[in-house]
């Protein structure tokens, strides 16, 4: 996690924050490939203080209490509420998508001079399947990260209303881990390790001793991007089981992000400029980590594609910047509502502009989302 350089308090460099000068240095981005420990376990030192409170006055924070009551009424069962009997033909869907494209998926101009020149239908279909395996694997790992971070929030947040709500989110995240794991195991064709960039971010969030940083890293940044990514996949997939699974998960995620906004609004009002700048810098670092994790490094690595070829194709793909910036459609307006976008000299606004996602600042913040304000489960609402 970035630490402020007091000798240059107004403008820390990209290198100080993320270890590279150019945020679009894709060869550096592709250098980091996630690997799993042989033990099957990954340990992070948790430096937090556990906070007991003797103030059991439920409802002192009415908005959090209202969210808690809605969460209790909005639970669903991942075992019985999804049609797991639905057949999924992963290879058939990938083949259909390839043939409907009518050309090589990346286009002739993009692949000229790269390893992709020799790829035909077989390779592209396999790549499509592997990329789906990778995508769902990252969703699974991210949901376990959310499970651990929300359990930490229960421990560390000092307000009883926040502890109550966070406890319902622990249940939500356990359910999300369950359904993504089951979908990967029973409907797809393989798992991938956690992406290296996502792993670094989650390690930082878990290790930080400040409870509001857990909120900011998980509830605002990770969950905000996940909500947008789930929405994108929900809108594009034709597979009915995955579409329903994603829709149910999205109903929970909107409530989770709203929880972060409502909680952090209160504490950020009382922070000094130095503390707010630390939060701005972490929001930027987290945003880049999440953008970089979308590049699928582990898939390219499994196919033996060099980082040079992968980076070249990524940089030339005209659709990539639009897709990447759209993932921040939930994050940017929420950061604005928290006062992080324009605090101080508007440093975070400048960095989000550099990333190409500032255009989402006036999108609806998640506290107004229909799912965040729903008073029953997605099953009952038939969404």
Reported as a single tens digit per residue, the pLDDT across 53-97 is 999 999 999 999 999 999 999 999 999 999 999 999 999 999 999
Percent of the chain with pLDDT over 70: 94
CA-nearest of 329, 341, 327, 324 to 369 is 329
Q: Return the pLDDT at 120.
A: 87
Question: Two tokens at 241?
Answer: 């089981």
Q: Domains of the chain (ranges plus CATH)?
A: 62-381 (1.10.620.20)
pLDDT-derived band at 310 (thresholds 50, 70, 90) equals confident
Reported as a single tens digit per residue, the pLDDT across 105-131 is 666 667 778 888 888 899 999 999 999
User: In angstroms, rounded to a whole number, what is the distance separating the alpha carbons of residues 241 and 163?
Assistant: 33
CA-nearest of 215, 207, 231 to 169 is 215
Q: Return the pLDDT at 17.
A: 85
Q: Return the pLDDT at 341.
A: 95
Q: Is 321 exposed, middle or buried (0-12, 13-18, 19+ CB in 10 A)?
A: middle
Q: Return the pLDDT at 1.
A: 45
Q: Is 35 exposed, middle or buried (0-12, 13-18, 19+ CB in 10 A)?
A: exposed
Reported as a single tens digit per residue, the pLDDT across 166-217 is 999 999 999 999 999 999 999 999 999 999 999 999 999 999 999 999 999 9
């Amino acid at each position: 996690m970035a630490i402020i350089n007091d000798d240059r308090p107004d403008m820390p460099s990209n290198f100080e924050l993320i270890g590279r000068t150019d945020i679009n240095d894709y060869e550096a981005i592709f250098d980091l490939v996630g690997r799993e420990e042989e033990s099957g376990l990954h340990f992070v030192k948790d430096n937090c203080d556990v906070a007991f409170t003797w103030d059991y006055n439920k409802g002192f924070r009415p908005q959090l209490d209202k969210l808690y009551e809605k969460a209790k009424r909005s639970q669903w069962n991942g075992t019985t509420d999804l049609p797991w009997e639905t057949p999924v033909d992963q290879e058939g869907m990938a083949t259909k998508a390839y043939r409907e494209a009518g050309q090589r998926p990346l286009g002739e101009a993009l692949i000229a001079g790269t390893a992709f020149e020799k790829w035909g239908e077989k390779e592209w279909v396999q790549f499509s399947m592997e990329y789906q395996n990778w995508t769902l694997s990252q969703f699974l790992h991210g949901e376990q990260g959310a499970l651990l971070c929300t359990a930490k929030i229960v421990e560390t947040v000092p307000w009883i209303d926040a502890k109550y709500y966070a406890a319902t989110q622990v249940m939500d995240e356990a359910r999300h881990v369950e359904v993504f794991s089951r979908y990967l195991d029973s409907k797809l064709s393989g798992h991938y390790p956690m992406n290296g960039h996502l792993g670094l971010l989650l390690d930082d969030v878990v290790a930080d001793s400040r409870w509001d940083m857990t909120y900011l890293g998980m509830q605002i940044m990770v969950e905000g991007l996940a909500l947008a990514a789930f929405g994108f996949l929900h809108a594009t997939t034709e597979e009915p089981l995955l579409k329903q699974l994603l829709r149910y998960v999205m109903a929970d995620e909107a409530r989770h992000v709203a929880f972060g906004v409502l909680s952090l609004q209160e504490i950020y009002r009382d922070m000094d400029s130095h503390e707010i700048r630390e939060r701005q810098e972490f929001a930027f670092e987290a945003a880049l980590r999440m953008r970089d994790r979308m590049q699928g490094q582990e898939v390219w690595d499994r196919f033996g594609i060099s980082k040079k070829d992968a980076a070249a194709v990524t940089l030339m793909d005209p659709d990539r910047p639009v897709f990447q910036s759209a993932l921040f459609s939930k994050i940017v307006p929420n950061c604005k509502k928290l006062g992080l976008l324009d605090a101080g000299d508007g440093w975070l606004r400048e960095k989000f502009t550099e990333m190409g996602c500032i255009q989402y600042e006036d999108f609806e913040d998640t506290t107004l989302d229909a799912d965040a304000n729903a008073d029953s489960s997605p099953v009952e609402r038939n969404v």
